[in-house]
Amino acid sequence: MEGMPDAVVGMPALIAEAAAAAGARVELIGRIGGDRAGDAVLLALARSGVGHAAMLRDPARPTRVAAARLDDDGEPLVPLAGLRSDEDAGDDRLTTLPAVTDDASTAPSLEQGDVELGLRYVREYRVVVVAETLGGAPAREAADAAVFADAALIAVVPPSGEVPAAFVGATVIAAPDADPDGAFAALIGRYAAALDAGGDPSAAFAEARAAAGWEPSAS
């Protein structure tokens, strides 16, 4: 598709890609347009090993497209990683949500019904990652689904802001103001993949942080 995106940007997608690259079976729940750019997003997710059976198509909203971020040599800063055949997509156990976007501040948020519908497409999961801000009923829907499935819940929240009451009992991790090299997203993805594999939470987090090369900045 000439002129169409060949990579998916935004925290949810980068976390999903990192988890897939670490060996987890991943389904991304989000909302994209019913357009050619949306088709390209699904192809890019498939190439990175991320399942998209739970991606909702919205013909009323065009898919958001971001300009590529390149390094000094003209190469993408955050290339897609990992390959997996779609033949294995029916048994996914790890899900990330909500929407794929380049600008979380203006992107449409998922509603409670969107979260509920998206999770119906995921047959089985051990970890739920809320990778962008959800509040009120959508947050409760995600939290209740994790409890019902006996799944670990990881909530990535803004560096400053109120944590939804529904996330009491979840692993809540504050995102940095910026993640230009994708190290924080890689940390969350690797951590989620390790939990999905049955790893001890403390050890899994330490190993994921070391592998991702991420360290929090001093406050």
Structure tokens at 134: 């959800």
Closest by alpha carbon to 22, among 172, 211, 200? 211
CB 127 within 8 A of CB 95: yes
CB 30 within 8 A of CB 55: yes
State the amino acid at position 198 in one-letter form. Answer: G
Structure tokens at 50: 């991320």
What pLDDT score was predicted for residue 62?
Answer: 81
Tokens 């750019």 -> residue:
37
The whole model's pTM is what? 0.77
What pLDDT score was predicted for residue 67?
Answer: 55
CB 182 within 8 A of CB 78: yes
Residue 137: its H or E element: helix 136-148
pLDDT in tens, the chain (219 residues): 344 445 677 888 899 999 999 999 999 988 888 888 888 888 888 988 999 888 888 888 887 766 555 556 655 444 332 222 233 333 334 444 433 333 444 455 678 888 888 888 887 889 999 887 777 888 888 888 899 889 999 998 888 767 888 888 899 988 888 888 888 999 999 999 999 999 899 998 888 888 877 776 554
Provide the terminal-to-terminal Cα distance of the chain, rounded to the nearest Å. Answer: 44
Task: Find residue 128's DSSP bridge partners.
Answer: 95, 153
What pLDDT score was predicted for residue 154?
Answer: 93
Task: State whether the Cα torsion 20-26-27-28 is positive or negative.
Answer: negative
Domain coordinates in residue numbering, the chain: 11-65+81-212
What pLDDT score was predicted for residue 127?
Answer: 93
What pLDDT score was predicted for residue 31?
Answer: 84
Q: Which CATH class is domain 11-65+81-212?
A: alpha beta
CA-CA-CA-CA torsion for 200, 202, 206, 209, nearest 10 degrees?
90
- 67 Cβ contact partners less than 8 Å away, ≥ 6 residues apart: none
